[in-house]
A = this chain, B = another copy of it.
């Protein structure tokens, strides 16, 4: 399918805190989507796993009850909002795909309310407080684009944001913007010493994807200090949602601790201009990249 230069569209990123009771989170998300739509947003991306507290802080099988099928309650409710508001919605969900098969899944809902497709998170983290390998099978969708009503976009999820391969492969499909719903924060005991450096690395690597691919990058994180039921210091989600332009320039950036809706314009014509002036795609040495599929080359 050819992707020709299309019209600009407006992105909305609701940076929100997540209610402790999962019964309230969908209603809250719907309200923020409608508010973003009223502000002119056309493609709205919610934070990662917005339907519940970040349960991956501990390995407890109880949390599997929070998974849902897709299509399911969330995509039905949000599909109706999408149709009513005529907006595209990117919804990051805890998917029960089949018996014992769970994924961290991004559902892309088009502006007519239909589920356009799914991206199942390919890179699954596992480190203290982020025990995602326990809950989620690695995605098998590969890196995808979605032809929404407003333009061709790429959807990725959180840990993917550290992987240049994920950004490149998604960009090579012709997307004009990469979306990253995210749940990242500080370990409270590390924040003072490493907090600034960690957050700067997170922003930098993603701005780097924007530069290397001449593409818009839209990142939406949650806020709030969430304590796991089993005890422990919890995670202080660091907000700082942002949108970068195709030269890596920050178009907007949210606070660390406030609920807000970021808005930014995605202009496919600007992307084309940037790529004409910095023609990185032209000079890729595709004859020499096969080693990328190796785990390590230094043995």
Please give the residue numbers on chain A whose beta carbons come within 8 Å of chain B beta carbons, in ascending order.
1-3, 122-127, 138, 142-143, 145, 152, 159, 162-169, 172-175, 197-198, 200-201, 204-209, 211-212, 247-249, 277-281, 283-299
Contact = CB atoms under 8 A, between A and B. Distances in A.
21 contacts: A123-B283, A127-B278, A162-B278, A162-B280, A163-B284, A163-B285, A164-B165, A164-B209, A169-B291, A169-B297, A172-B291, A172-B294, A173-B298, A174-B296, A174-B297, A197-B247, A201-B247, A205-B211, A287-B293, A289-B292, A290-B293
Given A172-B297, A297-B173, A248 B201 contact: yes
Contact of A142 (B125, B281, B286, B288): B288
Most buried by B among A1, A2, A289: A289
Nearest to A298: B174
A3 B298 contact: yes
B145 A298 contact: yes
Among A3, A290, A293, chain B packs the most CB atoms within 10 A around the CB of A293
Given A277-B127, A279-B127, A165 B292 contact: yes
A105 to B, nearest CB: 16
Given A172-B298, A283-B124, A204 B1 contact: no
Contacts of A3: 298
Residue picked from A145, A249, A283, most chain B C-beta under 10 Å = A283
A249 B208 contact: no
A204 B209 CA distance: 9
Contacts of A167: 164
Contacts of A145: 298
Given A164-B168, A165-B168, A204-B204, 4 more contacts: A165-B284, A172-B296, A174-B297, A200-B247
A299 B200 contact: no
Contacts of A205: 208, 211-212, 248
Contacts of A249: 197, 200-201
Contacts of A142: 288, 291
Contacts of A123: 283-285
Given A208-B212, A298-B174, A292 B169 contact: yes
Contacts of A287: 293
Contacts of A285: 122-123, 138, 163, 165-166
